Amino acid sequence: MKYVILGASAAGINAAKTIRELDPNGEITIVSKDKAIYSRCMLHHVISQGRQPREINFAEENFFEKYNINWLAGQEVLGLNTEEKTVLLTGDLKISYDRLLIATGSSSFIPPIKNLAAAKQIFGLRNIEDAVAVNLAAENTGAAVVIGAGLIGMDAAYALADRGLEVTVIETAEHILPLQLDKTAAQKYEKLFRQNAVNFFFKETTVEIKLDQDNNVRGVVLQSGAFVHCGLVIVAAGVRSNIEFLKNTNVKIGRGIQVNSYQETSVPNIYAAGDVCESTETFTGQVSLTPIWPSAILQGRTAGSNMAAIPRQLEINFAFKNSMTFYGLHTISFGLTGQADSDSKELIYQDAGNYKKIIFKDGVIKGAILQGDISNSGLIGKLVQDKTKISHPEQIFNMTYANFFAQKENGEFCFACNDNCH
Amino acid sequence: MAVKQGRRILINKDLCQGCKNCQLACMAEHTGNKSVLLLDLENRANQARNFIEPGNDGKPVPILCRHCDDPACVTACMSGAMTKNPYTGEVSCDINKCAGCWMCVMSCPFGIIQPDRVNGTRAVKCDFCAGRHIPRCVEACPTGAITMEQR
């Protein structure tokens, strides 16, 4: 059996490992644009210079030798022929497969801003090459602009400020991390960022990059007419699935490659996992992209198992969860975190170091923000994921797993109401 | 590859009296001298990896890392720090790799993993008293609520 995996990040690596565990003799090839294995979530550590590029490798040592996997590194996928069962790579190299996994991830979305394409010091933050290029550019300027205050944007802002640059963040919403936090939680962070030479423009968009005659970045112009001086710009305005090479194939695509709960695409023997695919998400029940690390891992393992002919369904595909930490302040959030609607009920706990908000609707938790002390937040996440009815909502901030304690035969913990236990 | 679960700490909550000897033993084991007698309870660096919390009936419930067969903390870890040993079944966190992103804290439904209290940069969890044959919590439990099973 010839397995070909496109992509060597969370989904691809975990699929390969799963296949090898189930099929000791199959021929496994990973094709990746990446020339190294690294955690995309940790690229900002390379910018802040807290870690060397090799220190953000998430895989086991000697991964490819250990699992007997061929690795075609630095290879881009240019096309797919589903009749021939071949993929076309850089340099007209063609390889054939019996089972194919597409785990090509996503790329930074580049918004239509004047001069963006021509400018030299414009970077996304998706690849190790981006982080290395940002580092070089950061040596030649004292100021940076970050477009977009999502997690990637704020990680970038933090890292650049950490290495001494003055940073300005431009965000269309009215506070940072609009998908992960409410205004109160966001403002706690904004205060800390401001104390560290990071400035913000909210409800603003960037309309033009100002360049010198050699296309070096000199600043950005905002919708309001404001000008922000800078020598480099990071674009963190969302991502798009890497699916261009599927043009002219019959692989069904929405915002990403459509897959079922076995990670199967519309074409037999072709699977997809991770940021590149869209699937039914557990919290909303809707088909959407699920661009978080744990989803990529689980989808990769599920795909790998099915590719090796051991049927496995992705049972939980919960992507509405986030964790973050800036300046020593930790936050974990689940579900819907913004304004609760009229038939929801909000419970808030606040003291000097903590802000905790839980949103209830119809007796279940629809959203949670836990900022400061994040211990036991995993329990809240489990209750959100399982849509567990909470009989005493007023006690939610004091609840621990002791309130749900149950054990399986083998001594593992479980949740009495949901799992098979005794 | 089925993971072997070598040792597992078993809990009989009905026997727990809530004495918290297991927590003291856990804290002591993770200090230099490993002594309960010399343990400084005011030092925030001394952080237990196990918990005794009241259940719905108000009685104590020991909550200890299960080193789960399919650990959510390992699935969520984006640095490669959290791994399950395929031979012993133990789930451990390599603090040199840990980036303090709290994906594990977010993912453990039992609330067992926590940020370190001093710097808030590394995950703290049960390490099965690395190198010790019998974990300190098991040894310290006077009632038989916490026992170890060897498979």
Global ipTM: 0.96
Is residue A314 within 8 angstroms of chain B, CB to CB?
A: no
- Would you call A387 an interface residue with chain B, using a CB distance cutoff of 8 Å? no
**Average pLDDT of the residues in A107-134:** 95
Instruction: Out of A21, A45, A294, name the one closest to residue B107 (CB).
Output: A294
Confidence grade of residue A422 (pLDDT, cut at 50, 70, 90) = very low
Answer whether residue A76 shows pLDDT above 60.
yes
A406 touches chain B (CB under 8 A): no
Region A255-280: what's the mean pLDDT?
98
**pLDDT given for residue B104 in this prediction:** 98
Nearest C-alpha neighbor of B129 from the set B30, B47, B16, B33: B30
pLDDT of A44 above 70? yes
**pLDDT tens digits for A316-341?**
999 999 999 999 999 999 999 887 78
Specify the residue for token string 């690229």: A43
A330 touching B, CB under 8 A?
yes
- The reported pLDDT for the residue numbered B2 is 52
B-chain residue closest to A292, CA distance: B76
pLDDT higher than threshold 60 for residue A218: yes
Q: Please list every residue in chain A whose beta carbon sits closer than 8 Å to the beta carbon of residue B14.
A: none
> Which of 105-134 (B) contact A at CB < 8 A?
105-115, 120
Please name the member of A45, A298, A332 whose beta carbon is closest to the beta carbon of B106. Answer: A332
Instruction: Identify any residues that bridge with A145 across adjacent strands, giving them in sequence order.
Output: A168, A233
pLDDT of A273 higher than 60: yes
Across the interface, which of B63, B105, B120 has its CB nearest the CB of A402? B63
Per residue in A286-313, pLDDT (tens digit) is 999 999 999 999 999 999 999 999 999 9
B83-91 long-range contacts (CB < 8 A, ≥24 apart) are: B83/A60, B84/B3, B86/B1, B86/B3, B86/B4, B87/B4, B87/B6, B88/B4, B88/B6, B88/B7, B89/B3, B89/B4, B89/B5, B89/B6, B89/B7, B89/B8, B90/B6, B90/B7, B90/B127, B90/B128, B91/B65, B91/B67, B91/B125
Cβ–Cβ under 8 Å, residues B95 and B82? no
Q: What residues 28-87 of chain B have any CB closer than 8 A to a CB of chain A?
A: 51, 53-56, 60-61, 63, 66, 68-69, 72, 75-80, 83
Give the pLDDT score at A58.
96
Q: Tell me the C-alpha distance between A327 and A154, whole Å.
A: 12
Give the pLDDT confidence score for residue A7 in this predicted structure: 98
Question: Given pLDDT bands bounded at 50, 70 and 90, which one contains residue A374?
Answer: very high
Q: Residues A146-162: what's their mean pLDDT?
A: 97
Say what the pLDDT of residue A413 is. 94
Local confidence band at B124 (pLDDT 50, 70, 90 cut-offs): very high
Using an 8 Å CB-CB cutoff, list chain B residues near A407: 11
Mean model confidence pLDDT for chain A: 95
Looking at residue B1, what is its pLDDT? Answer: 46
The verdict on a CB contact (< 8 Å) between A374 and B66 is: no
Comparison of pLDDT for B133 and A251, the residue scoring more: A251
What is the mean pLDDT of the segment spanning A85-111? Answer: 96
Output b/e per residue, A11-41; b: 16+ Cβ within 10 A. Answer: bbbbbbbbbbbbbeebebbbbbbbebbbbbb
Of A277, A386, A260, nearest to A311 by C-alpha is A260
Chain B residues close to A39, C-beta within 8 Å:
78-80
Full DSSP string of A326-374: ETTEEEEEEE--S---TT-EEEEEEETTEEEEEEEETTEEEEEEEES--
Answer whether A322 sits within 8 Å of B63, measured CB to CB: no
Candidates B10, B112, B115; nearest CB to A411: B10
Q: Give the best residue of A377, A387, A415 to mutate against chain B (max B CB count within 10 A).
A: A377
A417, pLDDT greater than 60:
no
Give me the pLDDT at residue A233, please.
98
pLDDT in tens, A241-250: 999 999 999 9
Question: Mean per-residue pLDDT for B129-137?
Answer: 92
Residue range B6-17: mean pLDDT, rounded: 93
Give pLDDT tens digits for B55-112. 999 999 999 999 999 999 999 999 999 999 988 999 999 999 999 999 999 999 999 9
pLDDT computed for residue B3 by the predictor: 57
Rounded CA gap, B15 and B66, in Å? 18
Q: Give per-residue pLDDT as tens, B39-53.
A: 999 999 999 999 999
Does A346 score more than 80 pLDDT?
yes
